[in-house]
Amino acid sequence: MAEEAEKEITTFEDFKLNRQLLNAIEEAGYEKPTPIQLKAIPVIMGGHDVMGIAQTGTGKTAAFLLPILMKVKYAQGMNPRAIILAPTRELAMQIEEHITLLGKYTDIRHTVIYGGLGPKTQIETINKGLDILVSTPKRLMELYLKGELILKEVKTLVLDEADKMMDMGFMPQIRQMLEVIPRKRQNLLFSATMHPKVVELSEEFLEFPTRIEVTPQATPVETVSQVLYQVPNLRTKIAMLEHIIQDRETFNRVIIFTRSKKNAEDVAKFLERREYGEVRAIHGNKGQNTRINSMEAFKGGEVRFLVATDVASRGIDVTMVSHVINFDVPFVYEDYVHRIGRTGRAENAGAAITFANPAEMYHIRKIEKLIRMRIPEQPMPPEVKIHEITFEEQQAIARDIDHQKRTENPDFKGAFHEKKGKHKSNFEKGKKKGDPKNSVWQKTKKKGSRRK
Ligand code: AMP
């Protein structure tokens, strides 16, 4: 196949990132670069200025952070060599968390500073020495003007969500800063829109920029009906899945999406064991040929269920998919649109069903923002047994929710207040959660008389 013959960039390895970063990427559960990452990482690593048009949810943060982490490489000196500016403290904190996640096997020192609280602790951290600094524009200039921040070693500057920064009136601080940092540097500007003010800024700020754009497919096709069920935990998700697929006639060609390879394997094995019909799993660990064969069999109607991770979702071009079931909510929000676009193709009516646990509801709200619509919600059918949540899962969900609250409000102190730098990604938490043998997959009882 063409894909195999050519040496185009398709994986994170192809970017020639160092081992520390590749290991962190793997642990974060990122199987494959997103479109913005595919486009931006090589250009940024080539040292060019970039004007990126991409929304939150596309993977844009890692698109600029990975090349920066490569360039900064390790702890060195006292002063920041990369500055990332973000309009809000929420976004600034999210960016810093990404640095923690992706830089976990490096010794790179980083911190985030923002207004709204006294600068004392922030100054203390800065004084210990720093490689990457994430900041909101005002606080950065405040500390610079106080003489607490030395900016003469800055080699990379990122303006994230530049359109929002313009809207919030940060232009004066940005101009001021551009005057005090070294002229010879790499500039990266990201914006969700091509606002005229952003174009103006980019002309002032970027040198021969490469323009990179990913227009999110933000509007789901109209022929797809969507429904959301709030499902409290994994066991209940399994029960719910089992309940809805009983109707073999309606649910005749179903794609089930999961966030991790492990969940894809587990769901596929579960359906196989219960003999609900032919099943194939496709994800990053499956070879190209296996994936193609599975897809062909699914297309041909010999396979009832295709269980897939998002990596696989873009390549699926099958008409007559009766249903897409989102067993897990995707964290790359755009993927939601890609996923549900697999059904309702070519004017056929399709249906997309999403299961979301309490922690995933946070991401549902973000997805709804992206698609600019509310996903219609339905109560769980009364016949479906609500299973008790395992202690481990309860902890994981509570930790996720705490983490979300802290991101929205840094002063929030939750039950799972973790030390800085100790945050684990949702992916990671999911991954470590035990092997299939002890898992709820085995414990879930088969329904009624369907026992083998
Ligand atoms: P962003 O658009 O940068 O806000 O990223 C949205 C979400 O996608 C974050 O939760 C990231 O951790 C996640 N993410 C970024 N890159 C990837 C990838 N290649 N594969 C899977 N998830 C990713």
Residue nearest to atom 14 of ligand 1 (CA): 59
CA 376 to CA 371: how far, in whole Å?
Answer: 13
Residue of 61, 51, 70, 63 lying closest to 155 (CA atoms) = 70
CA of 383 to the centre of ligand 1 (A): 36
Q: Ligand 1 atom closest to Cα of 94?
A: 4
Residue with CA closest to ligand 1 atom 10: 331
Asked if residues 363 and 326 have their Cβ atoms less than 8 Å apart, the reply is no
Domains in the chain and their CATH numbers?
Answer: 2-213 (3.40.50.300), 224-389 (3.40.50.300)
Residue 59 Cβ inside 6 Å of ligand 1? The answer reads yes
> Ligand 1 in contact with 30 (CB < 6 A)?
yes
Q: Is the distance from the beta carbon of residue 102 to the nearest atom of ligand 1 less than 6 Å? A: no
pLDDT at 424: 43
Give the pLDDT of residue 429. 41
Q: Judge whether residue 194 has pLDDT over 70.
A: yes
Query: What does the block give as tokens for 89?
Result: 């403290």
Cα of 360 vs centre of ligand 1, distance in Å, is 15
Ligand 1 atom nearest residue 31's Cα: 20
**Per-residue model confidence (pLDDT) at position 436:** 41
Give the pLDDT confidence of 395-439 residue by residue, as tens digits.
999 998 988 888 777 777 766 554 444 444 443 343 444 444 445
Residue 68 has pLDDT above 80, yes or no: yes
Atom of ligand 1 nearest to the CA of 54: 2
- pLDDT at position 385: 94
Specify the 3-state DSSP secondary structure of 346: helix
The residue contributing the CA closest to ligand 1 atom 22 is 30
Supply the pTM of this predicted model: 0.67
Q: Partners of 213 in the beta sheet?
A: 53
Of how many residues is the chain composed? 452
Ligand 1 mean position, distance from CA 34 (Å) = 8
Share of the chain above pLDDT 90, in %: 58
Expressed in angstroms and rounded, the spacing between residue 402 Cα and the centre of ligand 1 is 19
How many CB atoms sit inside 10 A of residue 442's CB? 12
The model's pLDDT over 220-246, given as tens digits with 9 standing for 90+, comes to 666 688 999 999 999 999 999 999 999
